[in-house]
Amino acid sequence: MNLALPGTGPINLSLTSQSGGSELPAFLFAVLDPKAAADYLHVSEPTVIEEAEKGRLPGRKIGSDWRFLTLALADWLRAEPQPKPEAKPASSKERMLAVAGAWKDDPTVDAMMEEIHRNRKANSGKQWDEEVSHEAEQFIKQIRDSRQTAPANPVDSDPTT
């Protein structure tokens, strides 16, 4: 039986070697370009390239061209999905900004942030770092400003409706 993959010629699907031993079908060793790999996986060519560039799809970049081995793609399809690597921990500033929006309607946030600011300043065993103090004040100001500029009804600000 012969098979022709996109971008390749006819391939003999013999499952045994001439010596009678078992071997893999020749089409599994076909080298595919991104279009042929996309056809094989039933996805778009840009998806194949994007996944390969992110290291999530087995392939090799030769110059500016991607190449994929059919056997590697078949193994990848059979394999269990790999767990996502743990993300780099967010900095304290990133963590504060991530929750700032959740606090914008909280009536106690101003008093709470001012007390945190006072406690940090009072409990630091050394001279208070003016840069940190300035960042804390800017954070409080951002929260106050977001309250003033936020629409009364967030649905009203959605341009898609």
pLDDT digits 0-9 by tens, 18-71: 445 557 788 778 899 999 999 999 999 999 999 999 989 999 999 999 999 999
Give the pLDDT of residue 140: 76
Residues 97 and 61 both lie in one domain: no
Residue where a domain terminates, one of 43, 78, 113: 78
pLDDT digits 0-9 by tens, 99-110: 666 766 777 777
Residue where a domain terminates, one of 78, 101, 121: 78
Other C-beta atoms closer than 10 Å to the C-beta of 43 total 14
Q: Is residue 85 part of a domain?
A: no
Q: Is residue 83 part of a domain?
A: no
Residues 103 and 57 both lie in one domain: no
Return phi, psi of residue 100, to 5°: -60, -40
Q: In the chain, how long is the greatest CA-to-CA distance?
A: 84
Q: Is residue 161 part of a domain?
A: no
Residue 151 pLDDT exceeds 70: no
